[in-house]
């Protein structure tokens, strides 16, 4: 895995092989950040990374100047790796070892961008539960978005807050926002 842009552009990171993760590919990350670059100034956003795994997406935000980053994963070794890597690179990433659903129900955080990369074998209902909790609790700012990464075999487009999908190979990013923001991407 490598950081594709920002202060640490080109930096390669080697996660331990025993982590139960599937890092987002460079091609998919580049596509995602092409969309986000047109909408946000990263140095002024709050970002939440759900199912953060290796911290791959959190490092991209930190490398681009984002200062309010929260990485959530239930695996202790993933959290330990993110803490170690962020310390090594001088990044300020706040980590939480927690089941994502428990975290979402308990947190009072509000973010401009929330990214979720659950296991691809989740049932559609589990993906949509994430969306439901975030919008029920008004966890994203009025101009904010929720991005869920999933396989091409999952369809989340029926949710009322769905804005669009972007496909990169076998990866799909589903974007969710408030209805008034549907034209913004």
- Write out pLDDT tens, residues 125-169: 999 999 999 999 999 999 999 999 999 999 999 999 999 999 998
Give the mean model confidence (pLDDT) for residues 27-55.
93
pLDDT at 185: 53
Secondary structure of 65-116 in HEC code, one letter for each residue: CCCEEEEEECCHHHHHHHHHHHHHCCCCEEEEECCHHHHHHHCCCCEEEEEE
Q: What percent of the chain stands above pLDDT 90?
A: 75
**C-alpha 124, offset from chain centre:** 18
Domains of the chain in sequence order: 44-181 (3.40.50.150)
Query: How many other β-carbons are positioned within 10 Å of the β-carbon of residue 23?
Result: 18
152 within 8 A of 174, measured Cβ to Cβ: no
Is a pLDDT exceeding 90 seen at residue 58? yes
Task: Provide the sign of the torsion angle of the four alpha carbons 95, 100, 106, 109, taken in this order.
Answer: positive
pLDDT band at 181 (very low <50, low <70, confident <90, very high): very low
What's the predicted TM-score (pTM) here?
0.93
Query: How many other β-carbons are positioned within 10 Å of the β-carbon of residue 106?
Result: 10
pLDDT band at 60 (very low <50, low <70, confident <90, very high): very high
Is a pLDDT exceeding 80 seen at residue 23? no
User: What 8-state DSSP symbol labels residue 1?
Assistant: -
Q: Of 70, 2, 5, 72, which is closest to residue 37 (Cα–Cα)?
A: 5
Non-local CB neighbours of 178 within 8 Å, separated by 6+ positions = 140, 142, 161
**Residues pairing with 151 in the sheet:** 171
């Amino acid at each position: 895995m490598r950081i594709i842009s920002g202060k640490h552009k080109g930096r390669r990171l080697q996660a331990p092989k025993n982590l139960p993760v599937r890092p987002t590919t460079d091609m998919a990350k580049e596509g995602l950040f092409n969309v986000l670059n047109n909408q946000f100034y990263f140095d002024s956003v709050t970002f939440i990374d759900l199912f953060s795994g290796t911290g791959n997406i959190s490092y991209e935000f930190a490398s681009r100047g984002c200062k309010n980053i929260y990485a959530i994963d239930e695996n202790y070794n993933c959290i330990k790796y993110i803490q170690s890597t962020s310390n090594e690179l001088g990044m300020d990433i706040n980590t939480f070892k927690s089941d994502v659903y428990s975290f979402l129900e308990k947190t009072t955080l509000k973010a401009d961008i929330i990214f979720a990369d659950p296991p691809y074998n989740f049932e559609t209902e589990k993906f949509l539960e994430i969306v439901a909790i975030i919008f029920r609790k008004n966890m994203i700012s009025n101009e904010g978005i929720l991005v869920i990464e999933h396989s091409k075999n999952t369809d989340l487009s029926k949710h009322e807050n769905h804005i669009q999908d972007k496909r990169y190979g076998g990866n799909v990013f589903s974007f969710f926002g408030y209805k008034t923001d549907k034209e913004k991407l």
